[in-house]
Structure 1
Amino acid sequence: MLAIIVPAHNEEQFLANCIKSLLAASTHIGLGGEQVEILIVMDDCTDDSLTVGKRHDVMIHVCKNRNVGKTRAEGAELMLQRGARWLAFTDADTVVPCSWLADQIRFNVDAVCGVVEVTDWSEHSDEVRMRYDAHYRPVDGHRHIHGANLGISAAAYKKAGGFKALPAHEDVHLVEDLERSGAVILWTATNRVTTSARKNCRCREGFGDFLKSLADPLFIG
């Protein structure tokens, strides 16, 4: 079984579009009909995220971690217990392409680090966008790490020790552990997702905070 795991904290605005894209990706012809299970880990949601999730054919797990690393790890453990051979991670404010999961499997490696793109820059100045474009390199062989676009085999995940209970950069630490464990990692630009550039981001020190830092006149890329 292939598993898709999505942490969500107060994501009623974006969650439906995220789930719809995951459902489409889960039935891609390139998967050969292999079973796919989608798990939304609702982390201390006080909005209507749970209601949104229940409208769709996905699994839901509720927790109160307020810690993205612990929440990703909890979701991963639940899916490993259900027999997942591959763990695909994204975020609730992200939309994946139809071939997203099929491509991860097709690469036949231990882990896949994909890239993200932003289509709506309305909350940011032109200068922020220009600085982002100058800093971010969506090319094969990149070294960007995003919890919003990460796939790992169950064996490699367990060998590396899984996500640590960190409030930020849990994805970076896991990839570093994967490298130390000898995992074969593909850094690809062909596997990309579209994510939010909102200023009211959910995870401190994550992608949203990085975008806000680009507005600082003292920013050094």
Structure 2
Amino acid sequence: MIGVIVPVHNEEQRLKHCIESLLVAAFHHALGNEPVRILIVLDACTDKSAHIAQTYGVMTLTCTHRNVGKARAQGAEQLLAADARWLAFTDADSVVPDSWLVDQISFNVDAVCGLVEVNDWSEHSIKVRERYHAHYRTVDGHRHIHGANLGVSSTAYRKAGGFKGLPAHEDVQLVSDLERSGASIMWTAANRVTTSARKDSRCREGFGDYLASLDP
């Protein structure tokens, strides 16, 4: 079984599109009917996120960590207990490509670090967009790390110690731990996830804050 974990904190405006894209990826014919379980980790949500997830019939887990590292870790543990062989992670403000899971599995490595594409730059100046693209490498071997586009085998995840309970950069820490544990990692430019460049980001020091730091 393949497990997909999405940490959520008040994402009623964007969660629908995320789940719909994951359902398409989950039923890709190239997966050969292997089961895919999508788990929405509702972390201290006070909006309609839970209702939206339940409408689509995906799994939900409620917690009050208000911490993305702990939310990802708890979600991973639940799916590992259900015997997931592969864990894929994205964010609620992101949309994955149809072949997202197929691509991750097909690389035949311990972990996959993919790229993201911004779907709407309207909240930022042209200068921010230019600075972002000047430093972003859209090639294989890129070395960018995004919790919105990350996959790892259950064996490698356990060996690396899993996600730490960090409020930010939990994805960077996991990849560092994977490298130290000897995991084989694919840094691919092929299976890009579309994500938001909103200024009202849910995670301090995350992608949204990075974009804000590029404002002259």
Instruction: Identify whether the pair has TM-score above 0.5, normalized to the shorter chain.
Output: yes
Q: CA deviation at 1:68?
A: 0.4
Aligned equivalent of 2:52 = 52
Q: CA deviation at 1:54?
A: 1.0
1:199 has 2:199 as partner:
yes
Aligned equivalent of 1:6 = 6
The CA deviation string for residues 183-213 of structure 1, in whole angstroms up to 9 with x for no partner, is 0000000011000000000000000000011
Q: What does 1:141-156 align with in structure 2 at a 5 Å threshold?
A: 141-156=141-156
**Given residue 50 of structure 1, which amino acid in structure 2 is its aligned partner?**
A
1:109 has 2:109 as partner:
yes
The CA deviation string for residues 35-61 of structure 1, in whole angstroms up to 9 with x for no partner, is 100000000001111111111020000
Aligned equivalent of 1:126 = 126
The CA deviation string for residues 2-24 of structure 1, in whole angstroms up to 9 with x for no partner, is 00000000000000000000000
Counterpart-to-counterpart distance in 1, 2:30 and 2:204: 36
Aligned equivalent of 1:168 = 168
Structure 1 stretches of at least 4 aligned residues deviating more than 2 Å after TM superposition? none
Counterpart-to-counterpart distance in 1, 2:37 and 2:63: 19
**Given residue 214 of structure 1, which amino acid in structure 2 is its aligned partner?**
L
Q: CA deviation at 1:119?
A: 1.9
Aligned equivalent of 2:80 = 80
**Given residue 204 of structure 2, which amino acid in structure 1 is its aligned partner?**
R
TM-score, structure 2 as length reference: 0.99
Counterpart-to-counterpart distance in 1, 2:149 and 2:47: 25
**Given residue 95 of structure 1, which amino acid in structure 2 is its aligned partner?**
V
Counterpart-to-counterpart distance in 2, 1:98 and 1:120: 20
The CA deviation string for residues 90-117 of structure 1, in whole angstroms up to 9 with x for no partner, is 0000000000001000110000000000
Aligned equivalent of 1:66 = 66
Aligned equivalent of 2:22 = 22
Q: CA deviation at 1:66?
A: 0.4
Counterpart-to-counterpart distance in 1, 2:166 and 2:118: 25
The CA deviation string for residues 54-99 of structure 1, in whole angstroms up to 9 with x for no partner, is 1102000000000100000000000000010000000000000000
Q: What does 1:210-221 align with in structure 2 at a 5 Å threshold?
A: 210-215=210-215, 217=216
Provide structure 1 residue ranges, at least 5 long, that are not aligned to the other structure.
Answer: none
Provide structure 2 residue ranges, at least 5 long, that are not aligned to the other structure.
Answer: none
Cα RMSD for the two superposed structures: 0.5
Counterpart-to-counterpart distance in 1, 2:166 and 2:138: 26
Counterpart-to-counterpart distance in 2, 1:42 and 1:101: 22
Counterpart-to-counterpart distance in 2, 1:133 and 1:170: 24
Q: CA deviation at 1:29?
A: 1.1
SS of the aligned residue for 1:87 comes to strand
Percent identical across equivalent pairs? 70
**Given residue 120 of structure 1, which amino acid in structure 2 is its aligned partner?**
D
